[in-house]
Chains A and B, each alone.
Chain A
């Protein structure tokens, strides 16, 4: 037990055991999936047609936006080249399904149906259409376990979209609530502020939406603000997630930022729930 906690040597044992237990997880997942498929096949034809129509128009709209996005991306790359800064990385995205199995009710983890065979790696970002979900914790041959951003051991470097303020978002164990830690009292944070990934950890690419600030308190006699936020992605309700392959941003390499040590911690995963890091530098 101590070995498993302290060192990574048991990773092999764990993933071997996990490959053995994977059929059991599939066996548990199968009936759940079958039932939902049966319900799907009973949906009315008109409903399907309406849904199809909605999806079609949404698709057309998104495609039109995508056209503009590509033009903007090229322009952005050109401007970045002019400024001699790093190009933004191209990203590969793939859909993974959640297996319908329950894990430890006091940890926030999910099981995905993609594993080492699909190039999934530990530390890989997991998102969905609404925002960041978490990161891959361990991989097996055909499945992997991901840690949600709401787990108490997860910390994620973010920045506020409105003010550019940087900080750390830490999980609370409640899938509807996150906390932003170590923000000095004088900082400008308001409820409704959008928090994006800052890309500083080197693990998540920058500018993915994470959470929205719900309340800000200024506790008397405390050096930091107490900030609550709500994750944008429905962490406990999504059945499908997106795995992100970030090329160019290697895990563990601190990005080139004109910033001191603050939040340049490699990776968002810390074994201790309390980050040992100082307050983010003032802007």
Chain B
């Protein structure tokens, strides 16, 4: 397999948008349920362009998310790198799944992501003690069809020539 390099600009732009959505102010009561935008966008692009968007991209994007959120450096970076690794392993299967089945896989991936992020939080002494910590698993899965069709349109319009 030849390795294509370089992240196309629409991919970079959507990743930036996902980072921005992660810190957009929303009402206090909804805040714990904020979907993991960055994880969703990364999952889609890793599935679409497994040779271009990979673990390194996920790690760097995760580091930026860490600084934006004021969390421990590397907390999101490592968790995202792990789930993108899994996506890279299963991407041929993931691509042909119907959307509802993809939603379930996304739910599992996001749950794993939250679990990995929970670990350093517990070690450093700030374990979130509420069940709402897991709310993003559901909201992210529910938003997956939106992300999927939106990013598929982006890909078909500008990136059809790429693999």
Contacts and interface: CB of A to CB of B under 8 A. Distances in A.
Interface of A: 1, 4-5, 10, 13-14, 17-18, 20-21, 24-25, 27-28, 32, 100-107, 109, 111, 137, 145, 152-153, 236, 271-273
A17 B64 contact: yes
Given A27-B20, A106-B133, A101 B73 contact: no
14 contacts: A5-B123, A17-B73, A18-B67, A21-B64, A25-B68, A28-B24, A101-B24, A101-B68, A102-B25, A103-B23, A103-B69, A105-B34, A106-B128, A137-B70
Interface in B64-84: 64, 67-75, 78
Given A1-B74, A105-B34, A14 B124 contact: no
Interface string B99-140: 000000000000000000000110111101000010000000
Contact of B31 (A5, A105, A111, A273): A105
B120 A101 contact: no
Contacts of A17: 63-64, 67, 73
Given A100-B25, A101-B23, A5 B124 contact: yes
Interface of B: 16, 19-20, 23-26, 28, 31-32, 34, 63-64, 67-75, 78, 120-121, 123-126, 128, 133
Contact of A1 (B19, B32, B78): B78
Contacts of A236: 28
Nearest to B135: A105
Contacts of A5: 72, 120, 123-124
B73 A14 contact: yes
Contacts of A32: 25
A5 to B, nearest CB: 5
Nearest to A270: B125
Contacts of B125: 153, 271-273
Contacts of A14: 67, 73
A24 B19 contact: yes
A102 B31 contact: yes
Contacts of B124: 5, 271
A1 B72 contact: yes
Nearest to B133: A106
Contacts of B24: 28, 101-102
Contacts of B68: 21, 24-25, 101, 103
Contact of A102 (B19, B23, B78, B128): B23
Nearest to B20: A28
A4 B77 CA distance: 13
Contacts of A101: 23-25, 68
Nearest to B21: A28
A271 B125 CA distance: 8
A25 B75 contact: no
A111 B124 CA distance: 22
Contacts of B72: 1, 4-5
User: Which of B32, B67, B75, B124 has the largest number of chain A CB atoms within 10 A?
Assistant: B67
Contacts of A100: 25
B135 to A, nearest CB: 10
Contacts of A145: 70
